[in-house]
């Protein structure tokens, strides 16, 4: 029976929502096409993660556990992936579109001499591969694509599918894997800015994004307060990350992160196309901007025209009241 | 040190676009050096200046892509190679990586770099495909590069922060455009670029036979993105509109 294999992305011991979205889609496709949906966990604590996955309906769970996977390094991850693909022989290998998967997607395809489609916004099976859609040209337009091969390797944008909880009594199978330090081609020296203590931006249900108009500490404090009331991830436009006001990992847009929250609040963000490419899939968009002609108002569901320093304090107060009730 | 930078000519994503019968039409036939590749060129130039090295740019593309190769030479690259394609092939990332791997198979270098993705397809696959085909250690999505003792220290954007990775030479790095502002060629640079050596290689002469098996992904067509309808604009007293919208987010949208 053909297998659809979802590679689960784990960050600090937590399963990324985006991988459960991909797994849910693969479960659906497998059940509609008489195939098997399998999940693969490559992590230093893979067996613990595997137990949690039983709540999300895979038919089979594979684990590759090794201390080397504590931090992402492409050499061992690639070796683990090719070991798993050789053993499982799946029809499709599907990743959530994370920084770590972007790092290995092409290399895995080259290693398996097969096709890859990255950053898909929807996908379906064909007789000999995968077809679907992906945004191109700075997400301005959508292209329809297909790939044939065995396996076809894909990555899927976060927010493209809903997570469907479904209990399963999937068998957990550990795949044999050895890795010696001599094989390590690259070395990790340091992780500079860990954002693990914050809400993960690409996974967040609510995102508050700061733009050029957030000029000073008072503005940044208002952003933090708003994010804290809503338990939101904080993002920023390129102007602010380049100015050093926000960590580069918080940049939303074509070159930064793609977010797809239930609620996105853009504060003093004009809506440049590069930024919009990273947030246009948000369910509800709120924009706060002084300039009534800012392009973000063309895509915002709620556009507040005015000075953020005057709008945010009463907005935060009102949200606090709503939260308390 | 010897640096090769792989570059690509892409349509300008900021030029007006339209879709007709599923095909993408650019109102202005504006083609540019891929912005991520420009960043890779800039970084290679900075490192070569610092470590007295040489930068060579390589481009696979049709005849008209030569202007983009000249742009990189005008920025300061020492030499260029143009692998000439017909221009009507539907090459995907895999095919490009295969062409480039063939080119590099008999070359010596310390590092190959390229943009982390191209602006037209946004696929982001060619760099790590090429590294794997050449069996090179690599790092993707670099936002900072330092070279010393035959090693590259790459600051890259990872899922849980910025990672400092050491990549030994020979290796490959893909660059984000967050690492620098690529220089704009000076008039002197543009003049000099015309005298710089450019090797022209026909795809067939490279011995990189790209068969239909190497192009495993196909673009079937294009469509407009469903447009978001603009919602309501709230203007007036900040206190009032702030409260009103906060309440609507709760009562109408149920997202609070």
Distance CA B22, CA B222 (A): 5
Final residue before a domain boundary, out of A151, A183, A215: A183
Residues of B in contact with A139 (CB under 8 A): 122, 225
**Which residue ranges of A make up the annotated binding site?**
212, 237-238, 251-255, 289
Residue A186 CB contacts under 8 Å (≥ 6 apart), including other chains: A73, A74, A75, B137, B138, B139, B165, B166, B167, B168, B171
pLDDT band at A193 (very low <50, low <70, confident <90, very high): low
- Same domain? For A57 and A110 the reply is yes
DSSP string, A28-85: HHHHHTT-EEEEEEEETTHHHHHHHHTTB--SEEEEEE-GGGGS--HHHHHHHHHHHH
Question: Is residue A163 domain-shared with residue A103, that is, in the same domain?
Answer: yes
Q: Which residues are bridge partners to B233 per DSSP?
A: A303
Nearest CA in chain B to A108: B129
Furthest-apart CA pair in chain A: how many Å?
61
CATH number at residue A45: 3.40.50.620
Distance (Å, rounded) from C-alpha A16 to C-alpha A98? 9
- Among A99, A138, A139, whose Cβ lies nearest the Cβ of B158? A99
What topology does CATH give the domain B2-214?
Answer: Rossmann fold (3.40.50)
Q: Would you say residue A277 lies in a domain?
A: yes
Q: Is residue A194 part of a domain?
A: no
Tell how strand A60-65 and strand A171-174 pair up.
parallel
Contact call for B124 and A105, based on CB within 8 A: yes
| Cα A280 to Cα A199: distance, rounded to the nearest angstrom | 20
Contacts of B216 (CB under 8 A, 6+ apart): A114, A115, A147, A148, A149, B92, B94
For β-strands B161-168 and A187-191, DSSP reports them as antiparallel
| A162 and A218 co-located in one domain | no
Q: Please check whether residue A76 is in contact with residue A61, taking contact to mean a CB–CB distance below 8 angstroms.
A: no
Chain A environment of B179 (Cβ under 8 Å) = none
pLDDT tops 80 at residue A190? yes
* The pLDDT of residue A11 is above 90: no
Question: CB contact, 8 Å: A295 with chain B?
Answer: no
* Alpha carbon separation from B171 to A159, A165, B80, B139, B168 (Å, rounded): 35, 43, 20, 8, 6
Residues A142 and A250 in one domain: no
- Binding positions of A for FAD are 212, 237-238, 251-255, 289
What digits encode the pLDDT tens for the residues A253-306? 987 888 989 999 999 999 998 899 899 889 999 999 999 999 999 999 999 999
Any domain includes A42: yes
Q: What does pTM read for this prediction?
A: 0.90
**Running DSSP on this structure, what letter comes out for residue A166?**
B
Residues in A closer than 8 angstroms to B11, CB to CB, are 137
CATH classification of the domain holding A311: 3.40.50.1220
* Last residue of one domain, picked from the residues A150, A183, A216: A183
For B104-163, write each residue's pLDDT tens digit: 999 999 999 999 999 999 999 999 999 999 999 999 999 999 999 999 999 998 887 789
Using CB atoms, pick whichever of A105, A108, A114 lies closest to residue B216. Answer: A114
- Within chain A, residue ranges assigned H as helices are 17-32, 46-53, 74-88, 99-111, 217-230, 238-242, 273-276, 308-324
Q: Which of A139, A157, A183 is the last residue of a domain?
A: A183
Residue A192 lies in a domain: no
Task: Residue A268: give the domain boundaries.
Answer: 201-324
Q: How many domains does chain A have?
A: 2
- Tokens for A309? 């320093």
Residues of B in contact with A138 (CB under 8 A): 13, 119, 122
């Amino acid at each position: 029976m053909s297998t659809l294999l979802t590679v689960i992305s784990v960050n600090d011991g937590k399963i990324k929502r985006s991988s459960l979205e991909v797994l849910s889609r693969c479960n659906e496709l497998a059940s509609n096409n008489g195939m098997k949906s399998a999940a693969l966990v490559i992590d230093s604590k893979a067996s613990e993660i595997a137990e949690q996955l039983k709540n999300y309906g895979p038919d089979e769970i594979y684990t590759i556990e090794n201390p080397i996977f504590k931090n992402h390094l492409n050499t061992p991850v690639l070796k683990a992936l090719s070991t798993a693909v050789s053993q499982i022989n799946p029809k499709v290998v599907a990743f959530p579109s994370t920084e770590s998967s972007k790092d290995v997607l092409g290399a895995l395809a080259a290693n398996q001499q097969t096709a890859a489609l990255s950053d898909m916004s929807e996908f379906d099976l064909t007789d000999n591969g995968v077809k679907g859609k992906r945004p191109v040209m700075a997400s301005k337009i959508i292209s329809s694509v297909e790939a044939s091969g065995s396996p076809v390797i894909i990555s899927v944008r976060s927010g493209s599918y809903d997570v469907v909880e479904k209990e399963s009594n999937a068998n957990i199978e550990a795949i044999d894997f050895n890795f010696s330090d001599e094989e390590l081609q690259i070395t990790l020296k340091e992780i500079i800015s860990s954002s693990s203590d914050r809400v993960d931006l690409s996974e967040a249900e609510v995102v508050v994004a700061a733009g050029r108009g957030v000029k000073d500490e008072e503005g940044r404090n208002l952003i933090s307060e708003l994010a804290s009331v809503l338990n939101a991830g904080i993002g920023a436009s390129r102007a602010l990350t380049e100015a050093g006001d926000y960590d580069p990992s918080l940049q939303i847009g074509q070159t930064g992160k793609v977010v797809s929250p239930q609620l996105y609040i853009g504060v003093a963000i004009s809506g440049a196309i590069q930024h919009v490419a990273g947030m246009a899939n948000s369910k509800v968009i709120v924009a706060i901007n002084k300039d009534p002609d800012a392009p973000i108002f063309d895509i915002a569901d709620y556009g507040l025209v005015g000075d953020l320093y005057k709008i945010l304090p009463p907005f935060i107060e009102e949200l606090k009241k709503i939260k308390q009730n | 040190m010897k640096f090769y930078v792989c570059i690509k000519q892409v349509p300008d994503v900021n030029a007006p676009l339209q879709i007709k019968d599923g095909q993408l039409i650019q109102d202005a036939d504006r083609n540019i050096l891929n912005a991520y590749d420009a960043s890779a060129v800039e970084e290679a130039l900075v490192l070569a200046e610092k470590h007295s090295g040489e930068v060579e740019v390589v481009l696979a593309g049709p005849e008209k892509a030569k202007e983009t190769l000249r742009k990189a030479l005008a920025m300061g690259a020492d030499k260029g190679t143009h692998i000439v394609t017909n221009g009507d092939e539907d090459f995907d990332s895999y095919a490009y990586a295969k062409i480039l791997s063939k080119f590099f198979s008999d070359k010596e270098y310390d590092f190959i770099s390229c943009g982390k993705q191209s602006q037209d397809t946004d696929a982001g696959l060619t760099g790590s495909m090429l590294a794997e085909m050449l069996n090179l250690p690599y790092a993707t999505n670099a936002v900072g590069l330092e070279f010393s003792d035959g090693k590259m220290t790459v600051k890259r954007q990872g899922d849980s922060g910025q990672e400092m990775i050491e990549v030994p030479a020979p290796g490959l790095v893909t660059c984000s455009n967050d690492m620098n502002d690529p220089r704009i060629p000076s008039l002197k640079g543009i003049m000099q670029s015309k005298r710089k050596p450019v090797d022209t290689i026909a795809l067939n002469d490279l011995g990189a036979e790209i068969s239909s098996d190497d192009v495993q992904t196909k673009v079937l067509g294009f469509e407009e993105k469903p447009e978001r309808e603009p919602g309501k604009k709230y203007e007036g007293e900040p206190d009032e509109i702030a409260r009103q919208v906060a309440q609507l987010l709760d009562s109408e949208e149920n997202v609070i």
